Amino acid sequence: MRKKARMAVRRRGLAAAVAAVTVALGTASAVAGVGAAVASEPTAAAALGGNWYGAAPYVMPFDNSPPDLGPVMSATGQKSFQLAFILAPSGGGCSPTWDGSHPVSSDTQAKAMIDGIRAAGGDVTVSAGGYGGTKLGQTCGDPSSTAAAYQQVVSKYGLKAIDFDLEEPEYENATAIHNEVGAAKILQQNNAGLYVSITTAGTTGGEGTGWFGKQLLAEAKSQGFTPANYAIMPFDGGFNGSSAQISALEGFHSTLMSTFGWSSATAYAHEGVSLMNGRSDTGEYFRQADFQAVLDYATSHGLSRYTFWSVNRDRQCNPPDNNGQTSGTCSSVTQGAWDFTKYTARFGGATPPPPPTDPAPGACTAPAWSASAVYTGGMEVTYTKHTYKAKWWTQGETPGKADVWSDEGPCT
């Protein structure tokens, strides 16, 4: 679903493609950082607010002709970037690597990029997963060992934020998702103040994400885990510009409320969007006006994340339409340099809304749920201090775990 273009480019002889594009665009070499020396210890992270961690656009530090981020920061005001992706080794194992081939333990290239961003007054978040490759949740045996692998990344780079990009094919693997969500929870507990985001696929249906996306939310609920943000990716699924994207975000907002029993304000405060600039993998087009419309929606509704794939692509192709093809190194639409990064900079610099204050839950007035009782559509029960309403006939199906029950919110 997500980022097929960059993965396809990489697997179809990326080295030659990058060399050609580097010459055509006049970009820095694929080992560009931002001119920083490599330090033996993590450079102290800048004191950025949560809005900036939610506004970090994706960058591939090893592939797809990574740009020199110093000039990007100067030209746009962007202070944060999301480096992608942490995967399991291509040959198997439970140790973190960049893209499956660059061990984190011996890395100096991504480290140089991170140090340079921080020297310029910014900071980074690192993304785990993405489309393609083998995820640590698939190879590590349980949540604790998965978390231990990710902790190596947090510790090496002194991270204050991390993203879990959980999508095809991994999110179809219940065990892998259990390990990833469990690892995210452990990291959040063991690293005070760590900003944890989860990114998953978006759909044009009324719920904003598909069946596997909803199962991911259910897994987080069952583990009692609440990240800073859940973001959907409204592209590569028949989206037609910003109106379809905003519709998906509204649907996802309803899904968050019904899944977790959140108020509207709380759901918006935990919701985000991850866009794709220019031409998507499936031939959709998202131009500057679409980014502005979604930005207006995000800021007016108090969303906590607004990002896109990717800064590597935030350049005009030659020719501008790239002959109707999607590229990992340019946008395939007419644009100025770093046009799309300027939108995340506006989101990051915006004054975030105050945290929502939910009204106190009311009394639990519905009868307690009974496994032996028969319930029909519209009947309400109390279970684990929540009120649940049956959607249709049911017996013996546990509220909060079966789709037949709609969570009407907490009660006391």
The one-letter code for the residue type at 5 is A
Structure tokens at 160: 């204050």
Q: How many CA atoms lie within 13 A of 98 on its CB side?
A: 18
Q: Which of 250, 336, 346, 253 is nearest to 291 (CA)?
A: 346
Q: Which of 399, 398, 396, 394 is nearest to 409 (CA)?
A: 399
Q: Is 257 helix (H, G, I), strand (E, B) or coil?
A: helix
Residues contacting 380, CB < 8 A, separation 6+: 366, 387, 388, 389, 390, 408
Q: What are the φ/ψ torsions at residue 352 (nearest 5 degrees)?
A: -70, 150
Contact between 6 and 236 (Cβ < 8 Å): no
Q: Which of 123, 117, 128 is nearest to 153 (CA)?
A: 128
- State the angle between helix axes of 109-119 and 143-157 in degrees (0 to 180), rounded to the nearest 10: 60
DSSP letter, residue 313: G
DSSP letter, residue 31: T
Q: CA torsion 276→281→282→283, rounded to 10°?
A: 70
Chain centroid offset of residue 233 CA:
8
Q: Find residue 20's DSSP bridge partners.
A: none
Upstream peptide bond of 227 is cis (omega within 30 degrees of 0): no
DSSP letter, residue 70: H
Q: CA torsion 77→285→278→169, rounded to 10°?
A: 100
Active-site annotation, residues: 167
